[in-house]
Structure 1
Amino acid sequence: MARPAVHPWLRIALAMVGVAWGANQFPPLIPVYRARDHLTPASVTGMLAIYGLGLVPVLFLAGSFTHRYGPRRTVRLGALLSLTSTLVMCAGDIQAWTLYPGRFLAGVASAFAFTAGSLWIRQVSHGAAAGSGARRATVALSAGFGAGPLVAGAVAQWLPAPALLPYLLHAVLMLGVTGLMWGVSGPAPTASAAARTTHELIPAAARSRRFLLGVVPWAPWVFGAPTVGFTILPAVVANHISGIAAAFAGGVAGLVLMAGIAVQPLARRLGTTGALRIRVAGLLAAAAGLAGCALTASTGEVALVPAVAIVLGSGYGLLFVLGLLEVERLAEAHEASSLVACFYALTYLGIAIPFLLSLFAAGGRYTAPLLVAALLPLLAVPLAALGSRTPPQTQPPAVRLTDVPVDPSSYCPLDRS
């Protein structure tokens, strides 16, 4: 009896799951490297920050690349780079310095695969219900982002070769999903369209009052909120989780992310009734989550971690959707990819927030710095309100940017040294 054919959209989605998995599998393994290789906090920060150095510049190029060569070739390139990245990071079992180029390649792979993959899934989802392609892409990336740290943390915690086996499992996964995706047909490249379009690095919409006041002041908290959850929450309870550090870090990362994904439908509904409402809700959630981190740091109560992680993840989800809604409202069709790249670049500034907090955490005491940090999202509210009073351009965009989820995997973990 013949096996049923795998639908093209599912093949593409599985490839995106694999790339997202690879992007987010490294952070729970940091306790392993810290204990084995005696890495300094600066080294660990560099290993994670270099992911953003690979991702952000390529985001500005991936749109043009997709227009010129088509989403099929772009996603193929992203999948091959993801496989290469995880193979390079396998060498970290011998030489820790190889984690730097491995993380850089993971960022490049993500930039090529995510946006082009979401576009490709929408293109092959013709005939399905409206919005099915976008939902399928969102589920694919969310599954990869969540499964990566959960599986890597559990494998590193309870199976042998903790600095090697998680990567080998991902390499096997990538070989399988890349093979499934490879034969899916794609639309013809639009080189002529790419040649006609000028992709400004800083488009006119990014210099508008609505973007400068209504987006820029709070954009770093899109990643800043989940980054604090990924990093400082495990650090402030480190004395109570020493036996399960890798698994705990993976679990917290997964919980923050899943909370951010779960709140996005609500965020879209709030966004239809007014951007200011979702803006305030997201910033309040970020502030409340940071205050919760301060309480956890003060008490050392592990039981507080799940609730704080959910609040921080909710702030991430609300602000992420708001940002894409604003980009969608502001962008002319020809500058949509450039404007979303600017927004992503701003959000990646948030990966530095835990590092900045650590500079003021004397002796690993994070309570006071976190309380100060909890006030900062609130300062963005009046500026955002001023920006929201400026009417956006009303021309409907060619592509709905709110259909493309973001990767929260790049963050800077901190350890209580």
Structure 2
Amino acid sequence: MDGGSARRGWLPCFLSGAVFAVCMAGTTLPTPLYSLYQDELGFSELTVTVVYAVYAFGVIGVLLLAGNASDTVGRRPVLLWGLACAAASAVCFLCATALGWLYVGRLLSGLSAGLFTGAATAYVMELAPGKGSPRASLVATAANMGGLGCGPLIAGFLAQYAPWPLYLPFAVHLVLLAVSAAVLLGLRETVRERRPLSTVRPQKPGLPPEVRAVFGPAALASFVGFALFGVFTSVSPALLSRFLDVDNHAVSGLVVALAFFASIAGQSAVGRIGERRSLPLGCAGLLGGLALLAGALWWQLLPLVILSAVLGGAGQGLAFRAALAQVAAASPADRRAAVISTLFVVAYAGISLPVIGVGVLSDHIGLQDAGLVFIACMGVLVTCAGVYLLRRPAEAGHESA
């Protein structure tokens, strides 16, 4: 196959990855705008964290109730539903004259992400030449995390340097969603034996006994990694504004984006480092990121926030991809989907519950001290996971080739 034919062979994979990125960008688009909504609608930091966390509940609900729907009805119908939920979310933010619009918008955003997370990952890999190749896996990873990073980056720059900061980012996203739907309709369906929607059954999270030793530290590392992302994408703009005098929305969006882009780098390094070494190294990266964030809050230094985003994001990428691979490898084939769903539920609980805790504490002890308490708690969890991983005996079959 010549170079031109090879590029054409990969084109559907790249196009589906672009659609994946557009949908995921919508889930983080409001991040640098929360301070503007606070000024407009007059709500507290606790409300910001609850508005943010509603998204995770939407994701978890879809993963549990319809996470396997695309295996039954086809990839494209599920992805089109996801794009429709993302568009409805953007409309809610465009109409946000009261707090209720933000809650509904975030819930719809969570539904879109829940529909896309599994279906789009599978679709990207199935459209690639040589299904399941490492390159296809990297395209899916980059689309997911890259989209999450582009959301705050785009919204921050538009809010800072263009008119209508609470409207233009969502109008632009609606246009991108329309283009994505057109692209999706032009791609082929990869599920050959499709069945009616009525045959879809909820997935029950499950944990067979042989998975538990691997699952514990993997789940802790995933929880902490997603919790760190949750803090960066919910309250970091407020931290930057209040304690570091950074009121530039573009800078706020860039700091959040760096964490997601660093995660891509961390995930892409797993193949070279190996799964067994990547998980404890990822825990170390997360611990370092948390320590830098604590230093940034204590000494009020922007460079430490940036370093925290980069190191913590890379640690999250290393830890989560290795955790996912090890848990999948240890799971019986007939229970693998249920076990992976359980890991994602734990990860998305990390995005929501600790962030709400930061919001509750901030009303009583202030945002800075609440952030330090969060960092201490997450540091203990990730240290426990790392120590266990370093002390456990070697297990055959869990090292990547």
Task: Give the TM-score, by structure 2 length.
Answer: 0.85
Q: Establish whether residue 139 from structure 1 lines up as the match of residue 169 from structure 2.
A: no
Deviation at 1:64, TM superposition (A): 2.6
Structure 2 matches for 1:125-204, cutoff 5 A? 125-126=128-129, 130-191=133-194, 201-204=204-207
8 Å CA contact 1:70, 1:187 repeated in 2: yes
Q: Closer, same or farther in 2 for the Cα pair 1:119/1:375, shift >3 Å?
A: closer
Q: 1:189 to 1:41 in 2, by over 3 A?
A: farther
Contact 2:204 2:338 in 1 (8 A): yes
- Indicate which of 112, 115, 119 corresponds to 1:112: 115
Counterpart of 1:356 in structure 2 is 357
Matching residue of 2:91: 87
Q: Secondary structure at the match of 2:219?
A: coil
Q: How big is each residue's C-alpha offset from its partner over 1:66-118, in whole Å with a ceiling of 9 and x where there is no partner?
A: 121111211122122211221122111x2332111111111111111232122
The amino acid that maps onto 1:260 is S
User: Against the structure 1 CA distance between its residues 112 and 357, is the aligned structure 2 distance closer, same or farther, given a 3 Å change threshold?
Assistant: closer
2:49 is the counterpart of 1:49: no
Cα 1:282–1:245, aligned 2, differ >3 Å: closer, same or farther?
same
Aligned-pair CA distance for 1:365: 3.5
Higher helix share: 2
Residue 298 to residue 79, structure 1, CA distance change in 2 (3 Å): same
Q: What number of residue pairs does the alignment pair up? A: 388
Matched with 2:272 is: 269
> Are 2:382 and 1:377 aligned?
yes
The equivalent residue for 1:225 is: 228
Rounded Cα–Cα distance in structure 2 between residues aligned with 1:30 and 1:368: 21
Which residue does the alignment assign to 1:408?
none
Alignment of 1:70 with 2:71, yes or no, is no
The CA RMSD over aligned residues, in Å, is: 3.2
Q: Equivalents in 2 of 1:198, 1:391: separation in Å?
A: 35
Q: How far does residue 29 in structure 1 lie from its aligned partner after superposition?
A: 1.0
Report the equivalent of 1:214.
Answer: 217
| Alignment correspondent of 1:404 | none
Aligned to 1:309: 309
Q: In the TM superposition, what is the alpha-carbon distance from 1:47 to its structure 2 partner?
A: 1.1
Letter in 1 for 2:221: W
SS in 1 for 2:43: coil
Instruction: Tell whether the 8 Å contact from 2:66 to 2:201 is kept in structure 1 after alignment.
Output: no
Q: Say if 1:129 and 1:319 are closer, same or farther in 2 by CA, change over 3 A.
A: closer
Q: Deviations over 1:321-365 (max 9, x none)?
A: 122112221223332222211111111222232443455562333
Runs of 4+ in 1 over 6 A off after TM superposition: 192-199
Given that 1:256 and 1:309 are in contact with CA atoms closer than 8 Å, whether structure 2 keeps it comes out as yes
Query: How many angstroms apart in 2 are the aligned matches of 1:188 and 1:371?
Result: 44
Secondary structure of 1:104's match?
helix
- Deviation, structure 1 residue 166: 0.7
Aligned to 1:20: 24
Secondary structure, aligned partner of 1:160: coil
Report the identity percentage: 22
Q: Please tell me the residue identity of whatever aligns with 2:263.
A: G
Distance 1:245 1:126 in 2: 43
Deviations 1:306-330 (A, max 9, x none): 1121111122112111221122212
Within 1, Cα distance between the matches of 2:242 and 2:290? 20
The one-character-per-residue Cα deviations of 1:159-214 (angstroms, maximum 9, x if unpaired) are 22211111001001111121121132213453579999987513243774324533
Partner of 1:319: 319
Q: In the aligned structure 1, how far is the partner of 2:67 from the partner of 2:233?
A: 30
> More deviation in 297-306 or 18-27?
297-306
Aligned residues of 2:92 and 2:104 also touching (Cα < 8 A): yes
1:333 aligns with 2:333: yes
The answer to whether the Cα contact below 8 Å between 1:271 and 1:325 also exists between their aligned partners in 2 is no
1:299, CA displacement in angstroms? 1.2
| Aligned-residue offset at 1:260 | 1.2
Deviation digits for residues 353-392 of structure 1 (CA, Å, limit 9, x no counterpart): 2443455562333375266333442123344456x54858
User: Deviation per CA, 1:113-165, whole angstroms, max 9, x where unpaired?
Assistant: 23212212222223589433323222322332221110101111222221111
> Which amino acid counterpart does residue 9 of structure 1 have in structure 2?
C
Structure 1: stretches of 5+ with no match in the other structure: 395-399, 401-417
> Structure 1 residues 167, 197: closer, same or farther in 2, change over 3 A?
closer
State the shift of 1:228 in Å: 3.4
Residues 1:74 and 1:38: Cα distance change in structure 2 (over 3 Å): same
Using the size of structure 1 for normalisation, the TM-score is 0.82
Partner of 2:129: helix, strand, or coil?
A: coil
